[in-house]
């Protein structure tokens, strides 16, 4: 299976032009020519995988409390911005498949729910993208979650996600059989990037909301960036053909 790696990923669904981690955001990304979208997936109180970034509801919805304690009936009645609902993973998968978007599914477990979240998300992703032309890319800051995904759904591509790339990145990439490395653009040292390039590992950087910074990162050898500023890169998204990764 080949993984086409676009250069620009719409961050948290549609970035900042639409409510984050919503179907409206994903639709907007597709309309603006994006070929890849990153979103965060957490379990509801009923164990349903849903798109949301924070462990609590206050910042992005009109709800109050913890996502992992909220029953679906209440969670899906909330407003996630401009009348959008919190989407189920299944709905986001259907939309990404419809638009041919590469989905970077970030497994975002609430504290203490690492195993449960990884199991549910890996199993669902495996089924939801069965036979798809563009297969998704799983990632997580939780290496435990990535390990569980590797064991349950080995055929799915995996990326390791770090705030700062650790010194033992090479061992972790091998151990978890990951194909990409994702990290904060602010903390990516040149010597680390050179070593990653020598190992032919594509590096994806978050969160890049400035065209000059994106250009500088690409010039240094970064393969892709996650952006909230979909408007800034819209003219470039459709033109770029992307790298091909063997998987």
Q: Which residues make up the interface to ligand G3P (CB under 6 A)?
A: 11-12, 38, 40, 53, 106, 139, 161, 182, 206, 226
20 binds Mg ion (CB under 5 A): no
Decide whether 15 or 63 has the Cβ nearer to Mg ion. 15
Which one of ligand G3P, Mg ion, none interacts with residue 226, CB within 5 to 8 A by kind? ligand G3P
CA–CA dist 113, 110 (Å, integer): 5
User: What's the number of CA atoms in the CB half-sphere (13 Å) around residue 229?
Assistant: 14
Decide whether 106 or 114 has the Cβ nearer to Mg ion. 106
Which residue in the shown chain puts its C-beta closest to ligand G3P?
206
Question: Residue 51: which of 94, 8, 17, 112 has the closest Cα?
Answer: 94
53 in active site:
yes
Residue 198: phi and psi, rounded to 5, are -60, -30
CA–CA dist 2, 12 (Å, integer): 24
Q: From the CB of 141, what's the least distance to ligand G3P, in Å?
A: 7
CA–CA dist 26, 11 (Å, integer): 10
CA-based radius of gyration for the chain? 17
Of the residues 11, 82, 182, 187, only one is catalytic, namely 11
Which one of Mg ion, ligand G3P, none interacts with residue 39, CB within 5 to 8 A by kind? none
106 binds Mg ion (CB under 5 A): yes
Query: What would the two tokens of residue 107 be?
Result: 């497994």
* Chain residues 149-208 in contact with Mg ion, contact rule CB under 5 A: none
CA–CA dist 13, 24 (Å, integer): 8
114 binds Mg ion (CB under 5 A): no
Q: Which are the catalytic amino acids? A: 11, 53
């Amino acid at each position: 299976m080949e993984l086409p790696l676009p250069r620009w990923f719409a961050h948290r669904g549609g970035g900042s032009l639409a409510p984050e981690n919503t179907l409206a955001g994903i639709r907007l990304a597709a309309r603006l020519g994006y070929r890849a979208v990153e979103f965060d997936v957490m379990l509801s109180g009923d164990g349903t995988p849903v798109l949301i970034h924070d462990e609590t509801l206050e910042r992005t919805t009109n709800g109050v409390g913890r996502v992992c304690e909220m029953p679906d009936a209440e969670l899906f009645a909330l407003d996630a911005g401009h009348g959008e609902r919190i989407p189920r993973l299944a709905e986001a998968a259907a939309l990404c498949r419809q638009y041919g978007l590469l989905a970077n599914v970030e497994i975002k477990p609430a504290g203490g729910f690492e195993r449960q979240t990884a199991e549910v998300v890996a199993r669902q992703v495996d089924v939801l993208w069965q036979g798809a032309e563009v297969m998704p890319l799983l990632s997580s800051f939780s290496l435990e979650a990535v390990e569980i995904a590797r064991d349950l759904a080995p055929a799915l591509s995996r990326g390791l996600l770090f705030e700062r790339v650790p010194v033992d990145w090479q061992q972790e990439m091998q151990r978890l059989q990951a194909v990409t490395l994702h990290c904060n653009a602010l903390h990516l040292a040149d010597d680390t990037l050179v070593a990653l390039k020598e190992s032919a590992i594509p590096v994806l950087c978050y969160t890049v909301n400035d065209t000059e910074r994106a250009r500088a990162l690409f010039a240094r050898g970064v393969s892709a960036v996650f952006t909230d500023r979909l408007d800034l890169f819209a003219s470039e998204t459709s033109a770029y053909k992307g790298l091909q990764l063997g998987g």
